[in-house]
Copies of this chain bind each other. A is one copy, B any other.
Amino acid sequence: MLKDLPRYECLLEAAKQFPDLDPSATEVYLHLLRTSDDAFGALTAHLHRAGLSQGRFTVLMLLIDKGTGCARASTPAELADRSGVTRATMTGLIDTLERDGLVSREPDLADRRMMSVKLTAKGEALIHDYLPGHFRRTAALVEPLTENERKTLVKLLAKIMGQAAVLSAQPADAVPAGIT
């Protein structure tokens, strides 16, 4: 990822050599990645201080079962699917979380292929201690945006998300003229 975003004149200059380069689209794309990375990095620094990583944090969040209003996950397969990582990666994550005493792994009695993953008391204490600060920092990140601006932002991001889904669905070397 580029640390310093190119100036717009720079994109215009590059567009002379590459007719396919859409300067405003490239600017949006680079700002999106840069902002996401910065926002993510600002919160991840605190995660690391708590001995967590994004993957570990996501797993712990999915294992919380009280007061979240959402169904919790329990098997490695479900955790992997909902975390957006492969099952192999989830095995590794659970390995280290178990090593650190934050989760426990028990065989499922009904289906002997499956394992049941649970938060330990230590894991539950850690995530519940961590969350309030995490939510405050998240709020601080978005703080200067009005409620209307937040709605607008989510709406615009959703459009790009939709395009990304379209683009990922047609992995061939298409995209010659325009995909809508």
Q: Which residues of A contact B (CB under 8 A)?
A: 1-4, 6-7, 9-14, 16-22, 24-29, 31-43, 45-46, 54, 58, 61, 66-70, 81-84, 131-133, 135-145, 147, 149-154, 156-168, 171, 173, 175-176, 178-180
Could you list 9 further interchain pairs (A-B, Cβ under 8 angstroms) beyond the known A26-B139, A143-B179? A1-B83, A2-B82, A14-B67, A28-B145, A31-B154, A33-B39, A35-B164, A141-B164, A144-B180
Q: How far is the CB of A89 from chain B (nearest CB, A)?
A: 12
Q: Which residues of B contact A141 (CB under 8 A)?
A: 25, 29, 160, 163-164, 167
Q: How far is the CB of A152 from chain B (nearest CB, A)?
A: 7
Inter-chain contact B25/A70, CB cutoff 8 Å: no
Q: Which residues of B contact A11 (CB under 8 A)?
A: 69
Inter-chain contact B2/A84, CB cutoff 8 Å: yes
Q: A3-B82, A81-B3, A157-B32 are in contact. Are A20 and B171 (CB under 8 A)?
A: no
Q: A2-B83, A4-B82 are in contact. Are A142 and B12 (CB under 8 A)?
A: no
Q: A36-B36, A68-B14 are in contact. Are A28 and B167 (CB under 8 A)?
A: no
Inter-chain contact B156/A152, CB cutoff 8 Å: yes
Q: A68-B14, A84-B2, A171-B45 are in contact. Are A142 and B160 (CB under 8 A)?
A: yes
- Cα–Cα, bound, A58→B17 (Å): 18
Inter-chain contact B27/A150, CB cutoff 8 Å: yes
